[in-house]
Each structure stands twice: as C-alpha cells, then as structure tokens.
C-alpha cells in the first residue's frame, strides 16, 4: 500500500514539473492562441449557424461545429479561423453555392462533411476554394461528397490538403469537376487523400515545389492524376486505379516519381501514365499493373526510368520516335503482351540491364547478365502499331513464326532498339 502511494505521488510531481515547462513554452511562442477564444455552433449551442459564429469571431479563434446539417449558402472565411467539425457536421450547398470560400491566410478546416456544391462552368464552385493569397491553409480530414470541384486551390502557397475523402457519384462528366484542383500555386502538400468519381482526381497546373504523397485516386472519369506546366514536384507512393484515362502529365520538367502504383487503367485511350513533352524526370519504384499501356512516352527527353515494374500490361512501354536521351535501366518487364513498341526507325534512347521475361538468352559466365543482347521490339508489335486490327492474330502460330525469324534476322525492326546487357533474373523492386 505505502509503496504504491509513494510511487503515485512522485509521478504527479514529475508531471507538474513538465507542465510548468510546457506552459512557458506556449507562452513564448503562441501568445495569440492564449488570448483566442473557442466558440461552439450547434442546435443547443451559443451559435446556431456557422456564419453567425464567424461574424462574432476574431482572427485566431476556434469555431467548433457540432453535429447537424448546416445549409447556409456560401460561407466566406475572411478571418484566420480554425473551423473544426465535431461529430461529423454536414455542410450542404444545396447544389447552388460554393460552400467554403477561404480568402485569408492561416485557416484550418477540419472534420466536416461538405456536400452538394453548386455546378457552374463559369465560376467552378467548390466544396472548399482557397483564393488568391490565402496562404497556409490546412484542409484536413473532411469528407467531400457530390461536389462540383472538391478542393480548389489557386494563386497561393503552402496549402496542406491532408486525409480528405473526396467522392462524387454524378454520372455525367459535365456535372463533374476535379477532386483536388490546384492552379498557379507553390509549396502545396497533398497527402493521404482518397478521390473517387470526379473528372480528374488530382489536377495541377502551374504548381511548383509541391509534394503529392500517399493519395489514392480511383474510378475517376478522366484522369487519376493530371498535371501540366507543374515543375519541380514530387509524386510519392500514390495509387491510381481504374481511372477512365489513367494518368496524363504534360509540358513539365524536373519531376520525381517514386513508388507510385498505376493499375488497371484500361481502354483505348487509357494509360498507366501518359508522358507528353516531359523532360528531366526521374522515376523509380513505380509499379504498372494491367494497364492497356504502362507508360506512353511522347516527345520526352532526359527521363531516367530505373527499377520500375511493368507487369501484365498490354504494352509495357510505348515510346514514340520523337523521344530522345531517355534511359531505361534495371526495370522488370513481366507478362506484358508487348514489352515495348515504337512507331519509327530512329531510336535515340537507351535500354540497359532490364529484366525481360521474354528473354531466351543464356548466361554462361554466371554474372547475371545475359550473354546475348535482347531486342525487346517484336516484329508483331511493329505490325500492330501500324495496323491495330492485326491484334486479331495475337498468339497465332504464324505470328510466332514471324517473330522468331525476325529475332534471328532483324530486318523490319529498328537496329539499335536493343538491350545489350539484359538481366537474367528480376530486380528487387
């Protein structure tokens, strides 16, 4: 008994000790927080509406919105407030309004269900729109349902969009905007969001120095990820599954893409990833499973594709003849119908040390590198490239014969489309 009391007493003393330090710490760095107040919104609370609470608040105040349905039209945030939903409050735009318009910096919107924004092609109404200059806005843990645009960020910087679920169930594409739409911004963080059913999952244009990390975009009508003129960004550990047209990225340089998964983007114009006019990018650890085309390169240059997996795609890689100085190194090509195709005779790209499961060479000196060069471009793939209906003959005996003879005596496929050091065993990816 006595022992126990003594232990408890000493623990309390210790805690007191720590708390004193902590309070000093808070006093020093966050004086505003100390003087800020917290107000509540709800049926039986101080404020019945969010708008009235905002009206009565000062910069730095916290508004806690409790459970309920709030139909207040457009809510303008012109003060630096912290809006927190408790118990899943629903904010409904009744298909007419933009719901939250953030127009100042240092705003937090957290824990709301925001639904049914208006639809208008002119003003792009959104569940949450961050306007010009509204820096350092945090949009966290919200559930966005059936909005036109989900989160719209423009002309700003240092916005964090994290752990939101953004879902649209409208059937027609004209009823749909993008899930996360960022325009002309810098230092944006898009982390851990899940986006389904929108037009584009994540859309970036003129966005720089940003990171897109651990998001999932699936079943979006158009692209899972779509960016243009968005330089110096990193895309890490995202997953893009079953989007109408896969992922398309264009007119951009200095991109890093690590450990993303591109999966089951099927259809005529669907790509695991479409690279158009990209340069100076680095890709590693990405996995492309069962896409019509793993990566489609169109006019790309100086891209390094290293240690990626292309598995069970229709075409692993389609590299147009207008691409140059790209390097494909140490990738695994497994179970693709065609590993690589191209549409011309000029090859200015390099393939080295890749693992090709169709490679039939040998390795006498056991250095894990095949002793015979591998030509990944099959005659049949060239035929199909020129003549898509020839797909009818896939895996027919005659095609096998043609391919075999072409491999032995190349005459119709580009001479230098070759991996001189094909790997005998798959790389660890």
Partner 1 sequence: MMQILKYVALDILKNKIVIAYTVMLALFSWSAFGLEDNASKGVLTLLNIILLTVPLVSVLFTTIYVYNSNEFIELLISHPVKRSKIWKSLFIGLSTSMVVAYVIGTGIPLLLFADFGTAIMMITAGSLLSIIFVAVAFLSSILTRDKAKGIGISIIAWLYFALLFDGLVLFLFFQFADYPIEKVVVALSALSPIDLTRILILLRLDVSAMMGYTGAIFQNYFGSSWGLLLSFGLLLLWILIPFYFSLRKFKKKDL
Binding residues (CB under 8 A) for partner 1: these are 266-268, 290-292, 312-314, 335, 337, 383-384, 386-401
Q: How far is the CB of 398 from partner 1 (least distance, A)?
A: 4
Q: Which two tokens stand for residue 285?
A: 């650890």
- Which is closer to partner 1, CB of 15 or CB of 391? 391
Spatial CA neighbour of 244 closest among 216, 227, 214, 264: 264
Q: Three-state SS for 23?
A: helix
Looking up tokens 């995202």, which residue turns up? 238
**Cα maximum dimension of the chain:** 93
Residue 201 or 246 having the CB closest to partner 1: 246
Residue 261 vs 393, nearer CB to partner 1: 393
| Pairwise CA distance, residues 412 & 345, whole Å | 9
CA distance 426 to 143: 41
Task: Kindly list the distances between the CA atom of residue 292 and the CA atoms of 40, 393, 395, in Å, as whole numbers in the listed order.
Answer: 52, 18, 17
Shortest reach from residue 259's CB to partner 1, in Å: 22
**Rounded to the nearest whole angstrom, what is the least distance from the CB of residue 193 to partner 1 in the complex?**
28
Quickly tell me which residue has 């890689």 as its tokens: 317
Q: What's the min distance (Å) between Cβ of 326 and partner 1? A: 23
Going from the C-alpha of 52 to that of each of 47, 71, 110, 285, the distances in angstroms are 7, 13, 19, 50
**Shortest distance in whole angstroms from residue 206 CB to partner 1:** 33
Cα separation, 27 vs 6, whole angstroms: 32
Nearer to partner 1 by Cβ, of 328 and 334: the residue is 334
Which of 57/341 has CB closer to partner 1? 341
Q: How far is the CB of 296 from partner 1 (least distance, A)?
A: 12
DSSP 65-100: E-SSEE--S-EEE-S--EEEESS--EEE-TTTS--E
Of the pair 164, 313, the CB lying nearest partner 1 is at 313
Q: Which is nearer to partner 1, 40 or 266 (CB)?
A: 266
CB 91 within 8 Å of CB 67: no
CB 178 within 8 A of CB 195: no
Least distance from partner 1 to the Cβ atom of residue 397, Å: 6
């Amino acid at each position: 008994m006595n022992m126990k009391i003594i232990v408890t007493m000493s623990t309390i003393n210790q805690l007191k000790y720590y708390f004193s330090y902590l309070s000093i710490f808070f006093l020093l760095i966050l004086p505003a927080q100390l003087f800020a107040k917290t107000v509540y919104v709800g049926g039986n609370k101080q404020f019945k509406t969010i708008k009235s609470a905002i009206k009565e608040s000062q910069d730095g105040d916290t508004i806690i919105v409790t459970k309920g349905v709030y139909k207040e039209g457009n809510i303008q945030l012109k003060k630096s407030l912290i809006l927190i939903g408790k118990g899943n409050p629903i904010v409904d735009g009744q298909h007419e309004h933009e719901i939250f318009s953030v127009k100042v910096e240092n705003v937090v919107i957290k824990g709301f269900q925001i639904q049914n924004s208006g639809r208008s092609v002119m003003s792009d109404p959104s569940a949450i729109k961050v306007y010009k200059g509204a820096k350092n806005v945090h949009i966290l843990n919200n559930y966005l349902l059936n909005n036109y645009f989900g989160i719209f960020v423009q002309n700003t910087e240092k916005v964090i969009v994290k752990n939101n679920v953004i879902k649209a169930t409208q059937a027609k594409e004209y009823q749909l905007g993008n899930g996360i739409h960022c325009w002309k911004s810098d230092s944006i963080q898009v982390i851990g969001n899940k986006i389904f059913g929108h037009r584009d999952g994540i859309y970036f244009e003129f966005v720089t120095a940003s990171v897109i990390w651990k998001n999932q975009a699936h079943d979006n009508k158009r692209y899972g990820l779509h960016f243009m003129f968005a330089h110096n960004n990193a895309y890490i550990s995202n997953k893009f599954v079953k989007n109408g047209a896969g992922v398309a990225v264009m007119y951009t340089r200095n991109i890093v893409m690590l450990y993303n998964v591109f999966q089951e983007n099927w259809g005529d114009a669907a790509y695991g990833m479409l690279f158009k006019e990209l340069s100076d990018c680095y890709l590693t650890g990405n996995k492309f499973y069962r896409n019509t085309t793993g990566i489609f390169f169109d006019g790309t240059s100086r891209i390094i594709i290293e240690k990626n997996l292309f598995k069970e795609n229709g075409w692993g890689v389609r590299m147009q003849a207008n691409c140059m100085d790209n390097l494909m190194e140490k990738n695994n090509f497994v179970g693709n119908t065609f590993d690589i195709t191209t549409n011309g005779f000029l090859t200015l790209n390099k393939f080295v040390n890749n693992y090709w499961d169709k490679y039939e060479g040998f390795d006498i000196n056991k250095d894990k590198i095949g002793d015979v060069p591998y030509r990944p471009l099959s005659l049949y793939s060239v035929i199909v490239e020129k003549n898509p209906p020839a797909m009818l003959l896939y895996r027919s005996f005659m095609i096998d014969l043609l391919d075999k003879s072409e491999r032995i005596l190349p005459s119709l496929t580009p001479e230098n489309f070759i991996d001189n050091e094909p790997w005998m065993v798959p790389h660890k990816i």
